[in-house]
Amino acid sequence: MNLHEAKRDIIEAGRRVYQQGYVASNDGNISCRLDEDRILTTPTGMSKGFLELSDLVIVDYDGKKVSGSRNPSSEIGMHLFLYRERPDANAVVHAHPPTATGFAVAGIPLTECVLPEVIITLGAIPIAGYGTPGGPEISEPIRKWVQDYDAYLLENHGATTIGTDVMNAYYKMETMEHFAKILFVAKQLGGVNLLDERQVADLIKIRERMGLRGPQPACDWTPGVSQIQPAASSNGIPTLKTKSAGAPANAAPSGQNGNVQPDLVDEITRRVMQELKKLS
């Protein structure tokens, strides 16, 4: 990728993540694959909203600085891991978008089939387990999701997206946070209307016509119920053909093994509220 263009894109993405409130203070980091030997990255200890071209740093695939007056991001190891695992990825954006990060802290993956544009572009966003920021521990929990997903919630930390270029990775971060806000509001209002399996299949066809990469990332069209025979992909990761990223492939349907049907919970809640009103 052209160095000057890559620098301009990182500066613009940094400005946007800061203005959108996806990062605070000096949080977050952005990088871009320049070629087979070099990665362009944001520096450590600087606000992403006020970077200049001269602040960016070039490192090799061992994370060693090749050029630049500043030091590279302290989380460059996670970026290098993603580039090694996903040769098709040319950019990484890591931030702390508040609503999506709230889901990560609550341990709730963004896997429900709700918004067509999210299903087409991301499918679902799983949660990678916690790893200490700045060290190799942050990368390893992403490993089981990295081949089938382009966006990851990081438990008690934030979120990371990968893309074909810097702005593509940034837009995925924006889509993730937008989805999280809408899903949060829907849950507060009392329920989420999910798209069904047929509707999701139609959206996947659109995804394929657009030439987006596969295998298709999963999303959950029926909470707690697998409508098809669960079977993991070759590396054991659930895909759209099997099960939601938010549940193991052998998860039992709702109502089995002691799980309570959502309708029953609603009815119990309604009756309890009626009795409380009588007492008052």
**Residues contacting 128, CB < 8 A, separation 6+:** 141, 142, 145, 152, 153, 154, 155
Rounded Cα distance between 42 and 52, Å, is: 10
CB 22 within 8 A of CB 172: no
pTM for the full predicted model: 0.80
Question: What is the rounded average pLDDT for all residues in the chain?
Answer: 83
How many whole angstroms from its chain centre is CA 78? Answer: 14
220 DSSP assignment: B
pLDDT band at 19 (very low <50, low <70, confident <90, very high): very high
Percent of the chain with pLDDT strictly greater than 70: 77
Direct distance between the N- and C-terminal alpha carbons of the chain, in angstroms, rounded to an integer: 69
Q: Which residues are designated catalytic?
A: 75
Domains and CATH numbers, the chain: 3-189 (3.40.225.10)
Residue 37 pLDDT: 95
Q: Is the pLDDT of residue 147 over 60?
A: yes
pLDDT band at 269 (very low <50, low <70, confident <90, very high): low
Instruction: Dig out the tokens for 62 from the structure.
Output: 């061992």
Rounded Cα distance between 89 and 150, Å, is: 9
Instruction: Dig out the tokens for 27 from the structure.
Output: 């949080």
Mean local confidence (pLDDT), 166-194: 95
Residue 273 pLDDT: 59
Q: Looking at per-residue confidence, does 72 or 216 come out higher?
A: 72
Q: Looking at per-residue confidence, does 271 or 29 come out higher?
A: 29
203-243 confidence digits (pLDDT tens): 988 988 888 765 567 788 765 543 323 334 333 333 443 33
Checking DSSP bridges between strand 158-163 and strand 39-41, what pairing results, if any?
unpaired
Residue 216 pLDDT: 61
pLDDT band at 270 (very low <50, low <70, confident <90, very high): low
CB 195 within 8 A of CB 123: no
Residue 223 pLDDT: 56
Residue 211 pLDDT: 81
Query: Helix and strand tally (H, E) in the chain?
Result: 7, 8
